[in-house]
Amino acid sequence: MKNEYDVIVVGAGPAGSIAARFAAQEGVSVLMLEKDRDVGYPVRCAEAINKAGVEMFIKPDYKWITADVTKFSFTAPNGKEVVLEFDSVQGYVLERRIFDYELAKTAAAAGAEIITRAYVNGLIMEGGKVSGVTMEYRGEKKEIRAKIVIGADGTESRVGRWAGLQTHIDFRDMESCFQVTASNISVDPNTLYFHFGSQVSPGGYFWIFPKGKDTANIGLGINGAECKKRSSLSYLNENLEKLFPNASILTQVAGGVPCSVTLKKISGEGIMLVGDAARQVNPLSGGGIASGMIGGSIAGRLAGEAVKKNNLSHIFDYDKEWHKERGKTHEIFNRLKEGIYDFKDEDFNKIMGKMLDLPPEKRTMKRLFMIALANKPGLLIDVAKVFLV
Amino acid sequence: MLFIMTMLFYILNFQLSYSINESALMYRTAKKGKLMIDILPDKCDFCGCCVGVCPEDAIELKEAEIKIIDERCTNCAKCVYSCPIEVIKFNKEGVLFDRHVIM
């Protein structure tokens, strides 16, 4: 570890690793710091991702893919189930503890230095500009200087805060999640299951994402307003008892998913934010791996270019580029989320009923949202924009 | 026999109350009549949900350590409501309450 780098990335998740890789590819010196002992562990993630999102950054490898997704199943509160089937693989369920590891290795191969158990606890600020981090490493306090710091510190998003960016989100936008990885259950290994309803998961959904035919990530997220009354853990225990009474629990994990539009400002003097820290999660699905990596790639590249050109204000282009690439779409997803936010159980029952009346070949994701938002015509154009099929 | 059992009872009882006092030390001193918040660090999963919603950056989270920064916390309770596993509690004059109890 040197005392000075061109770029420091705080956090070694997918967004951080991709940012580190793209910055290093520009030929500048990069250090990535991870607070936990391992890269990729603990896994606070349901691990599903769309196919294109993976392929953009790494060649799919069954070392870290546990299931190919070809079907989506939606279950209404009254138990009615709609299954959407596709001819080709739509996405994957990952093994994040290996996936993150492999991503970090690609960053290392590009020339980035990586250190774990390095707890960043502050920034070095000089004249309003971020110029490094302070951290604890092996019981010692250290200061490392950098031209640009990239905050990839996840849901907590403290790095951005220290730099003066507004990063905290309302607790109503924070989906409060709890998940177990359960074995000794029986699921279709190619189907992602979603359950809705006020008894199952109010203001969110209950998911079963298979990792093989006898194991799955089972969890749920409920929005902050609902969580105020009852915790997600208590809902999950109830659902598990009902659906999988004989399940063996292999892991348990809590987590918060920021389901909002991206922060107003994700770059500043010497600072950039990526992934969950920038609130780059798709607010409708809560999926954040792919969009975090896209954010990371833009931020990393711009940071590298800025250092190379010796023009640090180049990083301010990040906000615009992100907005063009994904931010705009996330605003649409957020509007759709707001549109279905206050749905009652009867609404879900009605939608699924209408879907089941259609012939199977006409059941598509677009149609599903068209039906769901039929009485909110303003949102139908948004549906047409984001769902091509 | 009875003597041993009595002794055992006293020893256990002593240890029990001792451990309660010990854990009480972790809690913040709640001001009289004021509702404060408190994290039970031994039950925490360190997921960072509370840190993400804290408007004051008043929660410090390491790999497996969590604490409230006293000077910054305004006891707004946003963290209490967002916690997925209810390990952030209300603390009223040293007695801990769940969030539903207070509502």
* Residue boundaries of the structural domains of chain A: 4-45+97-170+260-336, 66-93+171-258, 343-386
Question: Would B89 be classed as within a structural domain?
Answer: yes
- Counting one residue from chain A and one from chain B, the pairs whose CB atoms sit within 8 A come to 93
In percent, how much of chain A has pLDDT > 70? Answer: 100
Question: B35-39 and B66-68: which strand pairing?
Answer: unpaired
Q: State which residues form the domain around B89.
A: 30-102
The CATH architecture assigned to A66-93+171-258 reads 2-Layer Sandwich (3.30)
> Contacts of residue A230 in chain B, CB cutoff 8 Å?
100
How far is Cα A273 from Cα A151, in angstroms, rounded to an integer?
A: 5
In a domain, B19, yes or no: no
Q: A288 pLDDT band (50/70/90 cuts)? A: very high
Asked if A230 and B100 come within 8 Å (Cβ–Cβ), the reply is: yes
Q: Is residue B38 part of a domain?
A: yes
B84 touches chain A (CB under 8 A): yes
| B88 contact residues in A (CB cutoff 8 A) | none
- What's the CA gap between A228 and A188, in Å, rounded? 34
Using an 8 Å CB-CB cutoff, list chain B residues near A157.
51-52
**pLDDT value at position B30?**
66
What burial letters (b/e) apply to A182-202, b meaning 16+ CB within 10 Å? beebebbbbbbbbbbbeebbb
Distances (CA, A) of A78 to A197, A219, A226, A338, A351: 9, 20, 21, 23, 11
CATH of the domain at B94: 3.30.70.20
Instruction: Round the average pLDDT of chain A to a whole number and report it.
Output: 94
Among A170, A228, A254, whose Cβ lies nearest the Cβ of B49? A254
pTM: 0.90
* Inter-chain residue contact A253 with B52, CB threshold 8 Å: no
Q: Pick the residue of B39, B50, B56, B81 with the most A CBs within 10 A to test the interface with A by mutation.
A: B81
Please name the CATH architecture into which domain A4-45+97-170+260-336 falls: 3-Layer(bba) Sandwich (3.50)
pLDDT tens sequence across A107-133: 999 999 999 999 999 999 999 999 999
B103: chain A residues, CB-CB within 8 Å: 228-229
Q: CA A240 to CA A253: how far, in whole Å?
A: 15
Smallest CA–CA distance from A228 into chain B, residue: B81
Q: How far is CA A68 from the centre of its chain?
A: 19
Q: Averaged over A147-156, what is the pLDDT?
A: 96
Average the pLDDT over A239-259 and give the result.
95
The interface pTM score, or ipTM, of the predicted complex is 0.89
Contacts with B81 from chain A: Cβ below 8 Å: 171, 224, 227-228
Domain count, chain B: 1
